[in-house]
Copies of this chain bind each other. A is one copy, B any other.
Amino acid sequence: MEIKLDRKSPAPLYLQIRNQIRRLILSRRLQAGSRLPPERELAGALGVNRSTVVNAYRELEADGLIESYVGRGTTVKFIPPGEEGQETDLAVQTPVWKSFYSRQAARMFNPIISNILDLVNREDIISLAVGLPSNEFYPLKEFNSIMSGLICEKGRYVFGHGPTAGHYPLREYLAGFLKERGVETMPDNSMVLSGSQQGLDLAAKVFLEPGDALVVEEPSYMGALQVFAAAGARILGVPLDEEGLRVDILEQILSRYHPKFIYTLPTFQNPSGITMSILRRRELLKLAYRFHVPILEDDPYSELYYEGERMPSLKSMDNHGYVIYLSTFSKMLFPGLRLGWVAAPPVLAGQLVMTKQLDDFHVNSLSQWAVNEFCRRGLLEKHLMRVREEYAVKRDLMQASLEELAPPGFRWNRPAGGYHFWCKLPEGVKAGALLARTIEKKAAFVPSDAFFANGGGTNRLRLSFSRYPGELIREGVRRIFEALGEMFCPGEMSGEVLTRQEVRPLV
């Protein structure tokens, strides 16, 4: 099998390989059943990476031209004769997909969220990367009974379409839930979302043009940063101190730029765990009013407080309709139902509906009905009372594990709520390099660069304590420190730790 690569051609090497093999097959010079060389061998012969050949074979397989079986290698399939086999057809080039992409697509290149999600159900890895409720606490019995009742009695509704803004009784419940927390809103101004992540996407669509400025906390939630970056926004970071957003720095930024909005997680901030003080909240609102800048408040964790009382939301303190409020059932109850909501000022609520109808019409009806029923039976409040206690215990277990196992120079906060410890590595250690080693030890965390929009923050990590039973929390922490310890082995340390290139997060 002769393949010639043209290294000056703009066509990627894997496509050149693929197209030439394709022609050999379609012109019957490679017969059905004949075996292709193993990937490693062909890569060697052509002087390319093995992954280049893997990609070429993968495309040929997707085209239905070859098939691979473990142990039997890769063989040419039978291609029925016909029009498609004729000469004219052989000249057809596969699309070079990247040449069709929008600029926005080209800004979506970081698979971190998808990679973290892929690891969630892997039993062999203790992933402290994802902030998940613990499935030990899932109220399965209650949900089974509610769902079953709904399917029997309301089947025609729960499997049918519903309004774009969401199942009205659930929106009513949410308006009441917010009212009890000091937010004056009405069901008509709230919309049910496919998780609060969808609210971030909607906000980007409704507000952001490429080049628009917006303000975020530094560090901030990676899922939001990626959405805003994909929209081409200019992301201005404002640092945090122990009282939250540095409003003095914010003021300077607002007076210099005209950001479209300020994105903030005021309570048990992700990843830092910091809660903005009441005073700072007031100052933030005043600045928003003075500079006419809306606030996008992301509030997934405020119900998960383990000390003292629930903090009031910015939305509850806002008398002028500047705050768009996002929250979710993902941290309180179940993440897999993808159920969040937004409470917006009235005019904006209408525009959000216009935008969501084009995304996916509406959120899964059955889940909306079931969660509404669950909440209205008082089971959400009951569930929250339970999990607050349970997560406080887990938080304390991670604190104890860190105290017991952390090497000198390793620092961390102790969050009063939410799911995350935000940790600082000893001088000179990069979180990306540590992650690569940690995964070899079958554990994972999120390295800090994911939380910084404009670089920086390479020496921190986020550990989530919520999802595992106590012994696994300790074991996960132990594995991370084992990996960290190896980076300090005499003779190895200086070179690796100080000069190794930042590894892109693999979880």
Contact A111 B365, beta carbon cutoff 8 Å: no
Binds B, one of A95-103, A389-397, A407-415: A95-103
Judged by a CB distance under 8 angstroms, whether A177 is at the interface is: no
Would you list which residues of chain A between 346 and 400 have a CB under 8 Å from chain B? Answer: 346-348, 351, 353-355, 357-367
Q: Which partner residue on chain B sits nearest A134 by CB separation?
A: B156
Judged by a CB distance under 8 angstroms, whether A152 is at the interface is: yes
Judged by a CB distance under 8 angstroms, whether A109 is at the interface is: yes
Main secondary structure of the interface of A (DSSP, over half): helix
Contact A144 B138, beta carbon cutoff 8 Å: no
Interface size in chain A (residues, C-beta < 8 A) = 109
Contact A89 B130, beta carbon cutoff 8 Å: no
In the complex, A84 Cα to B317 Cα: how many Å?
9
Interface string of A93-130 (1 = CB under 8 A from B): 11101101111110011110110011011000000001
Contact A338 B361, beta carbon cutoff 8 Å: yes
Most buried by B among A118, A120, A161, A289: A161
Shortest Cβ gap from A202 to chain B (Å) = 10
Judged by a CB distance under 8 angstroms, whether A470 is at the interface is: no
Judged by a CB distance under 8 angstroms, whether A261 is at the interface is: yes
In the complex, A209 Cα to B99 Cα: how many Å?
13
In the complex, A164 Cα to B115 Cα: how many Å?
9
Shortest Cβ gap from A415 to chain B (Å) = 21
Most buried by B among A55, A97, A189, A292: A97
Binds B, one of A61-69, A243-251, A426-434, A435-443: A61-69
Would you list which residues of chain A between 207 and 252 have a CB under 8 Å from chain B? Answer: 207-209, 212, 223, 226-227, 230
Contact of A95 among B83, B194, B294 (CB under 8 A): B294
Q: List 21 A-B contacts (CB under 8 A).
A: A63-B321, A94-B320, A95-B292, A95-B320, A95-B345, A101-B206, A101-B207, A102-B208, A105-B206, A105-B207, A108-B351, A109-B354, A111-B354, A117-B362, A118-B164, A147-B148, A159-B336, A198-B360, A227-B358, A338-B365, A360-B360
Interface residues of A (CB under 8 A from B): 55, 58-59, 61-64, 83-84, 89, 92-95, 97-98, 100-105, 108-111, 113-114, 117-118, 120-121, 130, 132, 135, 138, 140, 143-144, 147-148, 151-152, 155-165, 184-186, 188-189, 194-195, 197-198, 200-201, 205-209, 212, 223, 226-227, 230, 260-261, 282, 289, 292, 294, 319-322, 334-338, 345-348, 351, 353-355, 357-367
